[in-house]
Structure formats: structure tokens, C-alpha cells
Amino acid sequence: MLAIRPWSAYELTKQMRRSLGYCWPKAESVLYEEPKRLVALSLAAVTDEPVGNGSRTRAVYAITDAGRAELRRWLASEPAPPRFEFEPLLRLLYADAGRKADVLRAVGATQTWAREEMERGLEQLEDYRETGGPFPHRMHIIVLFGDLVARLLEAVAGWAVEAEDEITTWPRTSGLGMTAATAERLDGLIEHAHAVLARMDNGYGSAPGVPG
């Protein structure tokens, strides 16, 4: 974030809620500790600014040339794969050790979460469209970023709605095995996965209906 502009730790926490948190969620305390580490490594420089009208100060951090170089080095390195930490799904996975109400609550909470995140994201996007946002020169990046977040949230929301419907029909949580609904869903999943993989192999970009 320091590559964009200098920030105080508190500003970093606010900015994390707006953007970083969608792909790299951390506790806020990290945003207070980590800049100090960067300064120790000479990757950032700190300036103490007076806050308000006097006694207290706050630390404002700015990137250094060495910091930019290190960032470039990192950007050129091999990326790690994505990791999804999805506790509600973990609860579904062992749902047969608990009550129906428990899974339903986990799935319902997921749905609520997805909707709220979408509302929050939508507000931000509308603000960007109207005002240009705080970093208009970065919109080409931000919108692409928002695109993935939106797709992920929609996937979660759509799933949660369907899962809730299906689980509601369960007579209990354990031992149901391959019900008719499950068999149908399984077939659909397999077919759909084949289709998606085939499309990816052909190159996604080709017009629909065009062979080859």
C-alpha cells in the first residue's frame, strides 16, 4: 500500500477494509507492527506528524527506493495459489455430527455475509463511478479486482440459497447418502465441470456456437 502513497497505520487499517482485506485479510494490529519492520529493513521511512492541535503524534510511513525495488522483486516472483478459509463449509462437511438447525444456520450466515459484502462492494463501485474514487489512475486495476470479488461473492450467494433449499428438505443430517436430489446435483456438477474445462481448452474467447 505504501507504493500508492504514504499512510498512517490507522489509515492503512481503513484501507484494508476497503480493498486489501478482500484478498489478504489480516488483524489490524499487523498494520501497526508491520510498517515498523519495514522501517527496520529500510524499505520504508517514518515521519512523526503532530495530530490535532498538539501533544500526540502519529507515525506516517512512506516507501523508500529500496522498498520499491523489493516490491518489484516480489511482484516478479512466483505467486502462491489461492486459499479459501471457509468455516461455514467446514461445518457443512461435518454436519452429520450435529443438528439440522446447525447447518442451516451456517448456510444462512454465509448467505447473509455474501449479501452484505455485495452491498458494501456495490456501494464502493458506485462511488468509484460517480466520483472517480481516491485513486482514479488505478481504476483499470481496481475494477478488475472488483470483478473477481463480485464473481466469488455471487458464487457463494447462489450456492447458499440453493444449499439452504436442499438442506431444508433433509429429514435429518446423517446417513441420507445418495438421495435423488444429490444424484441429480452430482450429475449436473460433473457435466458442467466437463463443459467448463472443454471451454477453457478451446480458449474461452471464441464466440458461442462456433465450432472448433
Partner DNA sequence: TCGCACATGTAAATCGTTACATGATTAT
Partner DNA sequence: ATAATCATGTAACGATTTACATGTGCGA
Touching a second copy, residues 142-171 (CB under 8 A): 143-148, 150-152, 154-159, 161-163, 165-167, 170
Least distance between a second copy and beta carbon 116 (Å): 9
User: Which residues in 104-123 contact a second copy (CB under 8 A)?
Assistant: 105-106, 109-111, 113, 115, 118-119, 121-122
Q: Grid cell 480493498 — which residue?
A: 19
The binder of DNA chosen from 3, 4, 23, 25 (CB under 7 A): 25
- Cell (9 digits) for 168: 431444508
68 binds DNA (CB under 7 A): no
Residue 51 is a binding residue for a second copy (CB under 8 A): no
The number of residues in the chain equals 212
**What is d(CA 41, CA 75) in angstroms, rounded to the nearest whole number?**
18
Give CA–CA dist 66/72, Å, rounded.
10
Selected binder of DNA within 1, 6, 28, 115 (CB under 7 A) = 28
Q: Does 51 bind DNA (CB under 7 A)?
A: yes
Residue 36 binds DNA (CB under 7 A): yes
The minimum distance between CB 100 and a second copy, in angstroms, equals 11
Q: Identify the burial level of 200 via C-beta atoms within 10 angstroms of its C-beta, where 0-12 means exposed, 13-18 middle and 19 or more buried.
A: exposed
Helix axes 139-169, 100-131, angle to 10 degrees: 160
Contacts of 52 (CB under 8 A, 6+ apart): none
List interacting residues with DNA (CB under 7 A): 8-11, 13-14, 25-30, 32-33, 36, 51-59
